[in-house]
A and B are shown apart, each in its own frame.
Chain A
Amino acid sequence: MNKNYFEILRAGINSTFQDLGRSNLYHIGIPFSGAMDKRNYLLANKLTGNDHNHPVIEFAYQGPHLKYNGDKINIVITGDVSFKIKNGDNLIDGECYQSFILENGDELDIISTNKSVYGYLAISGTFDLKFQWSSCSTNTKAKIGSNNGEKLADNQKIKIKEINNNFVNRKLNYVNTKIENIRVIKGTNFNYFSEEGKKIFFKNEFKVSKLSDRMGMRLEGKKIENIVDTNIRSEGLIKGVIQVPADGNPIIMLSDHGTIGGYPKIGVVVSADYDKLVQLTPGSTIKFQEVDLNSAETLFKLYDLETQNLISQI
């Protein structure tokens, strides 16, 4: 019986269920999807006592306003997020990376992410969700995943299948840092661009455009001139690839991207910088910095070690 549920008073801008995503499906046109900022996703689950591949609600900018009905439950929010909990007449200011107990009738109002894009809501329990290819991750473009492949809507109910009677108060001292320098490895079509274009790519600043979402981040800056061909034969894409179409403005492929593309690849964002990259809000400026494969591998090891250290502190 689903006697425990959230009622959605306001769904927020782009609130979806996410976990670690799905693999080995690119060849049929299905990308990874999954939580955009993996570190904050993993921390949310660890703070609620869940295993590492457990569905959470990801929200962007403005999160959902939820009313809780049921037995008491622990919740955690990660990211850089302002939220309030309403318990009767008490209005409590929420703090990220700290568990809170919700009781029957309490309201959780996730007001906004601060100078960042994504935040995560995890519960000490299990949402009642449909999985596709072993993942709940919602891909709204392909209509795949939980909630019929749609983002959460107003007045909907979010059912909870199970609550872990785990009311340990967990807390982590962690502050998200922002980066402006995104490290990249040169792409397979780097030589399609003029010397001037290559210089612009590594020396100039680019602005994150409003037309950015879970599929891709569009950038605006000085035009990167292509001297070979503005199209290539369509071929596979992966997360982090930076394509430059004819207009000369780079687009970075993010978790829900199309699996095949026909624009030249000028570079690929290193794995170590992906979590920080996706948190850059429209209007932020970024600069690309070239690194080689060895350095990229070391950077990833360090970043992953840092994540593991944070997890082990919980």
Chain B
Amino acid sequence: MIKNISNLGDAALYCDFGKEVNKDINTQVIKYFKTIQKKNIAGVNNIIPSYNKLIISFDLKKINFNKLKKVIDNIEIIKGDSIQNKKFEIPVCCEKEFSLDIKRLEEKLKMKEEKIYESFFEKEFFCYMTGFIAGMPFLGDLDENLRAKRLDTPRVKVPKGSIGLTEQFANIYTFESPGGWNIIGNTPLNIFDSTKEKEPNLINPGDLVTFKRITKENYQNYHE
């Protein structure tokens, strides 16, 4: 549930669901997000879910903080209405040219490469949110022993399709972008497609994701 609503500037509501990051809290955030989205509240121009926060921005010409806060305070989330989880299997190639930080991770985690991959590939991930760059999914949770910090100096260019790990999360770089996550492989699958306006993102909050290791040959001959 929302613990507190405050203003973020003069044109956004900041709904705080607490400090913890877990599936249950994030599922609450996503439920609120979907309910508010369906309501089509006049003046609301963006609803941004994250691990444990929901930010609702609005057009100050049409509504203001106090009016919108009243609407959100009184919103009813239908109980037991579970969010629809789609399931995806993402092919990943871990050849040297793609696993840019695997050696670094071996050192950071004091684990052998094979063990890191074994642990990573047997996990089912939950998509907490998408964003930063268009379509990038934030997936969790990695096992405790796979949690590493970001690179000390972020890369200026992380290649499109890169799979990165940091702390308890994995993500996929939907296009080339700067970034500081530890890169362990690359997917040939297109995760974001701006020509599909209705559903540009392959993976959406609440979806479940597993990764499947593929060979370089499979990677090169991959067709969606």
9 A-B pairs whose Cβ atoms sit less than 8 Å apart in the complex: A24-B47, A26-B47, A132-B197, A142-B134, A236-B131, A238-B9, A260-B50, A260-B129, A296-B10
Complex: chain B residue closest to A242, CB-CB: B9
B interface residues with partner A (beta carbon < 8 Å): 6-12, 14, 19, 21, 33, 37, 44-55, 57, 60-61, 64-65, 129-136, 138, 174-175, 177, 192, 194, 197, 200-201, 204-205
Q: Is the CB of A236 within 8 A of B53?
A: yes
User: How far is it, in angstroms, between the C-alpha of A185 and the C-alpha of B7 when the chains are bound?
Assistant: 9
Asked whether, in the complex, the Cβ of A258 is within 8 Å of the Cβ of B132, the reply is: yes
Query: In the complex where A270-B9, A296-B10 touch, is A238 in contact with B21 (Cβ < 8 A)?
Result: no
In the bound assembly, the distance between CA atoms of A142 and B131 in angstroms comes to 11
Binds B, one of A27-35, A110-118, A155-163, A165-173: A27-35
Q: Which residues of A line the B interface, CB within 8 A?
A: 23-30, 32, 132-133, 141-144, 149, 185, 187-188, 233-238, 240-241, 258-261, 265, 268-271, 293, 296-297, 300, 304
Per the bound structure, the CA–CA distance linking A296 and B64 in Å amounts to 11
> Considering the complex of A and B, which 7 residue pairs feature the smallest CB-CB distances, nearest first?
A268-B9, A236-B48, A236-B55, A296-B10, A29-B131, A259-B131, A29-B134
A238-B55, A259-B131, A297-B60 provided; 18 other pairs, C-beta below 8 A? A23-B46, A24-B46, A27-B46, A27-B48, A27-B129, A29-B135, A29-B174, A133-B197, A142-B194, A149-B194, A233-B51, A234-B51, A235-B48, A235-B55, A236-B54, A238-B46, A268-B12, A293-B10
CB distance from A292 to the nearest CB of B (A): 10
Nearest A residue (CB) for B49: A27
Q: How far does the Cβ of B14 sit from chain A's closest Cβ, in whole Å?
A: 5
A188 & B14 in contact (Cβ 8 Å cutoff) = yes
A304–B46 Cα gap in the complex (Å)? 21
* Residue pair A27, B47 in contact (C-beta under 8 Å): yes
Inter-chain contacts of A261 with B (CB < 8 A): 132
Contact B133 A29 (CB under 8 A): yes
Which residues on the A side are within 8 Å of B133 (C-beta)? 29, 141-142, 258
Q: How far is the CA of A26 from the CA of B46 in the complex (A)?
A: 6
From A262, which residue of chain B is reached at the shortest CB distance?
B132
Inter-chain CA distance A141–B194, complex, in Å, is: 13
With both chains docked as a complex, state the minimum distance between the C-beta of B89 and any C-beta of chain A, in angstroms: 21
Residue of A nearest to B138 (CB): A234
A185 and B10 in contact, given A143-B175, A233-B21 (Cβ under 8 angstroms): yes
